[in-house]
């Protein structure tokens, strides 16, 4: 994907830093095929658990509080729920999010192929321009790999995108993957003009650090 293609028909970069009660809000969007392992990465990062049914209840986003350089950062982890089309709060979050993590399953070749066929195209069409993107290959604890590390690394390097592998079962690489997303998001935020604004998904109710439901 060359730079000019990346910017065709895309939303202008947002210059909005979401601040609520003095805390910076960072929005990260996880996307990728159904079953790729998105919810499991969120569950592992937020609560340090694997396969907790709490994470299958259809929440729009999960919240985790982080402290960075003595500042409180509310990290919101959004999941694009399997489909290629997004609606309502998730679409709005997509347009405002600070970084996208595209997840594929290392034991499923088509989930890897769909990064280019579906997900990167989707980011080009729906995300803000210059939206940072990270590629994450998950389930690396499982036997029967269909995508080896070197292939995925070469692919990501060719697009100049950061790449890492994870296992939500063991926890391997999960913090590193999410925190690289946060670092890229913070870089983007610090480059922008700050102003106070809550985007259109303000009608989403929130229980701090325990996820939320659309009301």
Ligand X SMILES: Nc1nc2c(ncn2[C@@H]2O[C@H](COP(=O)(O)OP(=O)(O)O)[C@@H](O)[C@H]2O)c(=O)[nH]1
Between 14 and 38, name the residue whose CB sits nearer to Mg ion.
38
Among Mg ion, ligand X, none, partner that 190 touches (CB below 5 to 8 angstroms by kind)? none
Cα–Cα distances (Å) from 9 to 6, 12, 23, 129, 139, in that order, read 9, 9, 32, 9, 34
Q: Does 142 bind ligand X (CB under 6 A)?
A: yes
Q: Does 28 bind ligand X (CB under 6 A)?
A: no
Residue 200 and residue 19: Cα distance in Å, rounded?
A: 14
Residues that bind Mg ion (CB under 5 A): 38-39
Among ligand X, Mg ion, none, partner that 188 touches (CB below 5 to 8 angstroms by kind)? none
Closest CA to 161 of 110, 102, 113, 108: 102
Cα–Cα distances (Å) from 68 to 93, 179, 182, 185, in that order, read 22, 11, 10, 13
Residue from 16, 25, 29, 40 that binds ligand X (CB under 6 A)? 40
**For residue 133, what are its two tokens?**
């993107």
Which DSSP helix (H) or strand (E) runs through 77?
A: strand 71-79
Residues in contact with ligand X, shown as a per-residue x/- string from 182 to 211 under the rule CB under 6 A: ------------------------------
State the angle between helix axes of 174-191 and 38-47 in degrees (0 to 180), rounded to the nearest 10: 90
Cβ 140 to ligand X, closest distance in Å? 7
- DSSP code for 198: -
Cβ neighbours of 37 (radius 10 Å)? 26
Among ligand X, Mg ion, none, partner that 126 touches (CB below 5 to 8 angstroms by kind)? none
Between 80 and 106, name the residue whose CB sits nearer to Mg ion.
80
Among ligand X, Mg ion, none, partner that 128 touches (CB below 5 to 8 angstroms by kind)? none
Task: Say if CB 17 and CB 194 are below 8 A apart.
Answer: yes
Cβ 168 to ligand X, closest distance in Å? 4
Residues in contact with ligand X, shown as a per-residue x/- string from 65 to 104 under the rule CB under 6 A: -----------------x----------------------
Among ligand X, Mg ion, none, partner that 37 touches (CB below 5 to 8 angstroms by kind)? ligand X
Residues that bind ligand X (CB under 6 A): 34-40, 51, 82, 138-139, 141-142, 167-169
């Amino acid at each position: 994907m060359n730079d000019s293609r990346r910017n065709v028909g895309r939303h202008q970069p947002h210059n909005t830093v979401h601040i609520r009660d003095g805390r910076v809000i960072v929005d990260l969007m996880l996307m990728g095929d159904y079953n790729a392992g998105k919810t499991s990465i969120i569950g592992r990062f937020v609560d340090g658990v694997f396969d907790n049914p709490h994470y299958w209840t259809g929440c729009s986003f999960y919240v985790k509080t982080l402290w960075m350089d003595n500042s409180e950062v509310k990290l919101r982890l959004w999941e694009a729920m399997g489909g290629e089309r997004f609606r309502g709060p998730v679409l709005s979050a997509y347009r405002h999010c600070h970084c996208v993590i595209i997840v594929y399953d290392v034991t499923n070749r088509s989930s890897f192929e769909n990064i280019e066929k579906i997900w990167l195209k989707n980011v080009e069409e729906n995300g803000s321009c210059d939206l940072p993107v990270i590629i994450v290959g998950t389930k690396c604890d499982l036997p029967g790999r269909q995508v080896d590390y070197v292939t995925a690394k070469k692919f990501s390097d060719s697009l100049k995108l950061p790449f890492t592998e994870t296992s939500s079962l063991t926890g391997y690489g999960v913090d590193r993957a999410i925190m690289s997303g946060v670092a890229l998001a913070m870089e983007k935020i610090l480059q922008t003009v700050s102003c106070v604004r809550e985007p259109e998904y303000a009608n989403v109710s929130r229980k701090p650090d325990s996820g939320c439901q659309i009301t």
